[in-house]
Amino acid sequence: MKLLGMDLETDSPSISSAAICPACGKDVELEQDIVVGEILYCEHCGVELELTAVDPPRLEVFEEEEK
């Protein structure tokens, strides 16, 4: 299983611990064990973000599914 902090299969260390908020352009700190698809808040602008990739880490503004 691939986590940002490490790959549980290879136990490799994390590559990065921050990504850019697409809404305000500021750095968002990422916990080491964050997973792809996880939803988090930008502490600078308050927007909900989704982690869409880990290598390199990429954030997108979270859009609620209407189901």
Judged by the rule CB under 8 A, the positions of this chain that interact with another protein are 1, 8, 33-40, 50, 62, 64-67
**Which of 8, 2, 11 is CA-nearest to residue 35?**
2
Q: With respect to another protein, which residue has the nearer C-beta, 25 or 39?
A: 39
Under 8 Å between Cβ of 44 and 21:
yes
Q: With respect to another protein, which residue has the nearer C-beta, 24 or 35?
A: 35
Q: Output the smallest distance, CB 37 to another protein, in A.
A: 5
- DSSP-H helix ranges across 1-57: none
Q: Output the smallest distance, CB 66 to another protein, in A.
A: 5
Could you give the CA distance from residue 45 to residue 58 in angstroms, rounded to a whole number?
17
